[in-house]
Structure 1
Amino acid sequence: MNTTLKLYLSIKDVLALQRLVVCELRDDGEPGQMITRDAVRGSTTDELLYVDKNFTYQGRLNVSALLLEVHLKISMWNHEHLYQPFCIKTLKGYLEKRRNQVNRKVKPRVRLIQNTNSDSGGFRVSCLATGFYPRHINLTLFRDGQPVSDHEITGGDLLPNGDGTYQMRKSLEISADKHTYSCSATHLSLDNKLHVTLEYDHGEPFRSVIPSVLTVLALMMVFGAAAAITAWKRRSADSFRSGYSTPSSKYF
């Protein structure tokens, strides 16, 4: 048996168990819910929810009732005496060190723009909110004052910025119609709902027009200079002829 085959068999026989433990700290400083979720080979096998010393269990473990009961009793004791106290202590320490960062509120910069969709040849309306913190935000696109249904909208993913803030974009494919579009944003940093109207993104069209405009201006300058030179030459010729004919008449 070669080394490669031995390595394959050893990896094949490994069983990976994944566990996710999440705890919550309420605004009053008391522990909230705690969730423990186990997974094997990428699939969740069981989940235990612990709230106010009450347990709720959901699972697909193929074991006997007696073995499941023992497993739950051990899990409950671990949650109450080990997992939750340690998790809450860690969370409080983190919040104490990061209090200013966690509690800060940064207002979003919201724009609603329309530009050309190069793929379809049509138009796209996009509502972009960026630079906000905390991460939760509600963006709503409106057509003629009515919310656009979710199945028409693309995007909506929350993305991080390099400065620790977040951004979100929601887009809608449109045709050359006469509808009016707007966008609203709701965020913890805003006292009231922020409502913006449509702007037109002239970036690409404007950049494509610049060479043409410069060409026209250059041609106008060339033609103007040529006309001025021609007029100057004509005036110089007329002046020369008039100056030459005057003295010649005195000789004859």
Structure 2
Amino acid sequence: MDKLLVLFLLSLPSAAPKGSHSFWLLATYMRGQTPFPQFSYILMLDDVRVLYYNGDTRTFIRRGNTTDENHVFDSNVLLTISDYIGSFFRGKWEIATNSLNKTDVKGALVLQRLVLCEMKDNGKPGQMITRDAFEGFTTDELRYIDNNFTYQGTLNVTAQVLKIHLEVSMWRHKHLYLPTCLKTLKGYTETRKNQISRKVKPKIRLFQKDQSFGSQVSCLATGFYPRHISLSMLRDGQPVSDHEITGGDLLPNDDGTYQMRKILRISAAEQRKKHKYTCTATHLSLDNKLDISLEYDHGTPLKSMIISVLTALALVLILGAVAAVILYRKGDRQHLKKVWTQYFDGIKLQKPSEETSLNNVQ
């Protein structure tokens, strides 16, 4: 389930600009037969998971750190916020199931809430976003930026119900959610600074693979942290347009780093033009831009040539050995001597002396 949460977050646009930090809450409310708590959430500093909440037991579980972090947040305040979110889910459940005609569906159904707050690199608050979803589809979103609220929603509710909901929600965002989020964010940036400030250089590969339509050039960057990276492809030194490239999704690795792949399809006609392709990467861990080049070779690949030569040489050795055995059995030693001499001269090896190659043959 943790991987699903990370993938959900990665599917969102990057909220925090470089140099700032963000704090995330992803809450899940499920009804039906599942092995998970009905209500739970996970807290993340940037992309580092720091805390898990089990709504069934009302307990907090630290993630990724063994040191005491109880001073980072007020557990009573966080429990109050947890109760608010749980109550919201129970009320929203009826609205969502009726609005989206899900009342008669059997099995597990899922409501989710994503909350994000930012702290800019100068220590001042950035935007706060609260986004709700039902069965993977966004139902409404509330943004709080510079003391201004904006709302978008798709649920079918009356204007009066929506007005009351927004008034309560905006008051809680302004006086409870945002102050708590920023205070907790500042605390975790101190206790987890080694995790969030680490820099791991990307490993870049540029490789080509033949396809039925021509060929495919892939640029792969993997093993990098933090997750912000600029990856582009050049053709003869000029940027390849975005509509020609597929891929580009940011994906997590098992070790906490990230990977990204971009792919360019090349037709047979384009392939004959012998362009030079380059993959270029810019990342916080790199002092300078990293360029990896690939020049397409339309001749016989070197590896194939080596294999062909080795195969032919092996065949010559086998045929020579078979001929030697046949001649020896016939007792034609003089002819055998001639064959061996021609054989060794043919593969440019030193000709064996008669004493060592023939006289010892009995």
TM-score (norm 2): 0.53
Instruction: Indicate whether 1:20 and 2:114 are aligned.
Output: yes
Equivalent position SS for 1:192? coil
Deviant stretches of 4+, over 6 Å = 205-210, 232-236
Kindly state the Cα deviation for residue 135 of structure 1 after the two structures are TM-superposed. 0.9
Q: Which amino acid aligns with 1:193?
A: K
Structure-to-structure mapping, 1:1-252, within 5 angstroms: 17-40=111-134, 42-117=136-211, 120=212, 122-174=214-266, 175=268, 176-177=271-272, 178-198=274-294, 212-222=308-318, 229-231=336-338
Change (3 A) 1:221 1:12: closer
**RMSD, matched Cα:** 3.5
Equivalent position SS for 1:29? coil
Query: Is there any run of 5+ residues in structure 1 with no aligned partner, and where?
Result: 1-8, 237-252
Q: Which deviations, in whole Å up to 9, do the C-alpha atoms of 1:4-57 show, x marking residues without a partner? A: xxxxx8766998643221111222233321111223454433221112322222
Kindly state the Cα deviation for residue 220 of structure 1 after the two structures are TM-superposed. 3.0
| 8 Å CA contact retained: 2:276, 2:295 | no
Q: Which amino acid aligns with 1:186?
A: T
Query: Is there any run of 5+ residues in structure 2 with no aligned partner, and where?
Result: 1-102, 325-334, 342-352, 355-362
| 8 Å CA contact retained: 2:215, 2:265 | yes
Q: Which amino acid aligns with 2:338?
A: A
Kindly state the Cα deviation for residue 224 of structure 1 after the two structures are TM-superposed. 5.6
Kindly state the Cα deviation for residue 133 of structure 1 after the two structures are TM-superposed. 1.0
Aligned residues: 224
Output the CA distance in 2 between the equivalents of 1:151 and 1:208. Answer: 34
Output the CA distance in 2 between the equivalents of 1:134 and 1:196. Answer: 21
Kindly state the Cα deviation for residue 200 of structure 1 after the two structures are TM-superposed. 6.5
Change (3 A) 1:14 1:71: farther
State the identity %: 65
Output the CA distance in 2 between the equivalents of 1:54 and 1:39. Answer: 23
Between 206-215 and 16-25, report the one with greater CA deviation: 206-215
Output the CA distance in 1 between the equivalents of 2:340 and 2:307. Answer: 33
